[in-house]
Amino acid sequence: MHGPRAVQHGGAPRIGEIERRGDARTIVLAKHETFPALSAYDPAYAALKHAKLERLLEKEETGPDAQLDYQQRNLMAFAATEEVPYDSSGRILFPPMMRRKGQIGELALFLGAGETFQIWNPQLLLDEPRIPDDLKDIARFRLDERGTS
């Protein structure tokens, strides 16, 4: 799942196939913890995410800031998210806050990332120095296909 999708005025880009772990037609949107992008996942993934945070705390619990770091990660992982529906054609409506947090404009670039996917403003991806050049080439190609490069 990758390539830019037009963000229509109503904020409904088509996101293609989403692997569902449950019956609900919803995804969870969150600010990505590293990049200027959004992270998105099936609601059932939240339990896996919580377990990962617990394991991380166990590894770091001897550190002086372990509990504070754990609480901050939990707040960002669960309190600073929005669950949004998607329709049978894969369109979602971006909540205004998530659109702002991801700096999503007219186009959104969707990138599969294992159990989650990322939603980028294509220009931010191209400007991000930590993104590999090969991935930027794919983004440029997708933008060229749309005639928007």
| pLDDT score of 119 more than 70 | yes
pLDDT-above-90 percentage for the chain: 41
pLDDT-above-70 percentage for the chain: 83
Q: Half-sphere exposure of 70 toward its Cβ, with a 13 Å CA cutoff? A: 18
pLDDT band at 16; cut points 50, 70, 90: very low
- According to DSSP, the β-strands at 2-6 and 81-85 are unpaired
- According to DSSP, the β-strands at 116-120 and 81-85 are unpaired
Amino acid code (one letter) for 14? R
> Is residue 23 included in any domain, yes or no?
yes
Greater model confidence, 62 or 135: 135
- Digit-coded pLDDT (tens) for 54-87: 887 787 777 778 888 878 877 777 778 899 998 8
> Is residue 59 included in any domain, yes or no?
no
Greater model confidence, 57 or 26: 26
Total-model pTM: 0.74
Number of domains present in the structure of the chain: 1
Q: Considering only the C-alpha atoms of the chain, give the largest distance between any 2 of them, rounded to a whole number of Å.
A: 53
What's the pLDDT score for residue 23?
A: 60
> Is residue 21 included in any domain, yes or no?
yes
Greater model confidence, 59 or 27: 27
Greater model confidence, 136 or 91: 136
Eight-state DSSP code of residue 78: I
Tokens 């933008």 correspond to 143
- Interhelix angle 45-60/66-74, rounded to 10 degrees, is 170
> Is residue 127 included in any domain, yes or no?
yes
> Is residue 18 included in any domain, yes or no?
yes
> Is residue 105 included in any domain, yes or no?
yes
Query: 15-18 long-range contacts, Cβ below 8 Å, gap at least 24?
Result: 15/86, 15/90, 15/91, 15/92, 15/110, 16/90, 16/110, 17/90, 18/42, 18/86, 18/90
State which residues form the domain around 28.
Answer: 2-43+81-146
| pLDDT score of 9 more than 50 | no
